[in-house]
Amino acid sequence: MFVLITYDVNTETVEGKKRLRKVAKMCVNYGQRVQNSVFECVIEPAKFKEVQHRLQEIINKDKDSLRFYYLGNNYKNKVEHIGAKTSLDIEGTIII
Amino acid sequence: MRKLLNTLYVTSADAYLSLDGENIVVLKNEAEVMRLPLHNLEGVVTFGYVGASPALMGACAKKNISLCFMTQSGNFRGQFVGKVRGNVTLRKTQYFMSEDNNTSALLARNFILGKIFNSKWVIERAIRDYALRLDVAKLKKVSYNLSNSLNLIKGCVDLEQLRGFEGEAASQYFSVFDDLILQQKESFYFAQRNKRPPLDNVNAMLSFVYTLLTNDVASALETVGLDPYVGFLHRDRPGRASLALDLMEELRSVFADRFVLSLINKRIVNASGFVKKENGAVIMDDDTRKTILSKWQERKKEELKHPFLEEKIEWGLVPYAQSMLLARCIRGDLEEYPPFLWK
């Protein structure tokens, strides 16, 4: 399935900046960074639960927020991109 | 059924593969050119002098991602395999059975039956689709001969005899292979199968695609816990993945040969992509290799209904499905190994 993860981490404090870094690092592990705080993940549901759990442990629920958008399996016609930074089609042919 | 994941092909010789967190990162001149999460991959195949960091190798081994190194021309060089996995009992049974000529022959017979049945249907398909452009009488005759071979093999339980029948049928099939090439005849022709090195464009492509297929089959066998090096039809030889070659027999014609034919007939490859060396060897240029790889990957995603499992799966999972059936047969859960019969 395809999940979009976005987050907002309050960075007014030192701890906040630390959390932001940790959240970003965790998201990079599982998905593709398409914008600064937006990640696209092509991921198995079970694996995704794991990510969700690990992210929840990092954030401060009073100050930060996480949003998950479930786009299912037929996501290709649900995403449109304009401008720079095109993404890599992770299920397509990858040759470098 | 398992999910078909992606394979990363690295064809640029100056790339270096490394690990960062859960990502595989491709570096060129120490600059990052690609990054993707490991859980989206089931294999990495590199061509040329690319290196991979030990950390990445470790992560691949742990996550069961096959890491395979080939030369620029697509010859298999080596594979990084992690801890020996799977089931010891299964593997021991496999060794035991391979020592025994009778059980080997029973399995080998089914591999060959699959092979000849599929070759026959590749020819029958061509007759059906291009009856007006082909020498139908000649093809029908070969198809008839192949049917005969099938009948002979059905009753045969002698390994040497089986090998003989197989050789005979293979030469029958290859005798009309050239007829199946419908386009670009001046640069793509097939006289006979030759390898190490391939001497014409068609053989160069066949060799390359067979290597890709062997690699897929060997990793599929590995995933179900069988040893790809101990075969039943092919004899053991150091460094040769005999069981992978056994299991490939039935897939060669439908999977690899038809793929090569369609690349030529649809004019996806052309003569300018091939170079002839002084010693007669033919090699492909980088662009042709890339085209073949990307088409190969597309082909693997096409779906079909598995004739035995009666389940809809991708072509890329066929080697896995067959390995699973073979493992079940070795374990004794299936009475006989059901070859992959395509029509």
The answer to whether residue B74 scores a pLDDT higher than 80 is: no
pTM score: 0.73
Q: What percent of chain B has pLDDT over 90?
A: 1
Q: From chain B, pick out residues whose CB is under 8 angstroms from the CB of A30.
A: 22, 37, 39
CB of A71 within 8 Å of a chain B CB? The answer is no
Q: Which of B55-59, B223-227, B328-332 has the lowest mean pLDDT?
A: B223-227
What is the three-class DSSP state of B138? helix
The answer to whether residue B56 scores a pLDDT higher than 80 is: yes
**Cβ contact, residue pair A96, B3, below 8 Å:** no
Eight-class DSSP state of B67: E
Nearest-CA residue of chain A relative to B5?
A: A91
Q: Are B98 and B104 in contact (CB under 8 A)?
A: yes
Most confident range (mean pLDDT) of A60-69, B158-167, B183-192, B308-317 is: A60-69
Size of interface A-B (CB pairs under 8 A): 58
Eight-class DSSP state of B306: -
Q: From chain A, pick out residues whose CB is under 8 angstroms from the CB of B20.
A: 28
Nearest by CB to residue A94, choosing from B6, B12, B39, is B6
DSSP E strands in B212-290: the ranges are 274-276, 282-284
What average pLDDT score do residues B130-142 get? Answer: 81
pLDDT in tens, B16-49: 899 988 889 999 888 888 888 888 888 888 887 7
CB of A91 within 8 Å of a chain B CB? The answer is yes
Write down the H helix ranges in B155-200: 159-175
Q: From chain A, pick out residues whose CB is under 8 angstroms from the CB of B287.
A: none
- Confidence band, pLDDT 50/70/90 cuts, at residue B159: confident
Test the B interface: residue of A41, A43, A93 with most B CBs within 10 Å: A93
Q: From chain A, pick out residues whose CB is under 8 angstroms from the CB of B9.
A: 93-96
What average pLDDT score do residues B7-14 get? Answer: 82
Distances (CA, A) of B1 to A50, B65, B110, B312, B314: 22, 17, 23, 10, 10
Can you give the pLDDT at residue B96? 83
The answer to whether residue B200 scores a pLDDT higher than 70 is: yes
pLDDT in tens, A30-59: 888 888 889 988 888 888 898 899 998 888
Q: Are B98 and B106 in contact (CB under 8 A)?
A: no
**Cβ contact, residue pair A43, B39, below 8 Å:** yes
What average pLDDT score do residues B288-304 get? Answer: 85
- Confidence band, pLDDT 50/70/90 cuts, at residue A6: very high
State which amino acid sits at residue B225.
G
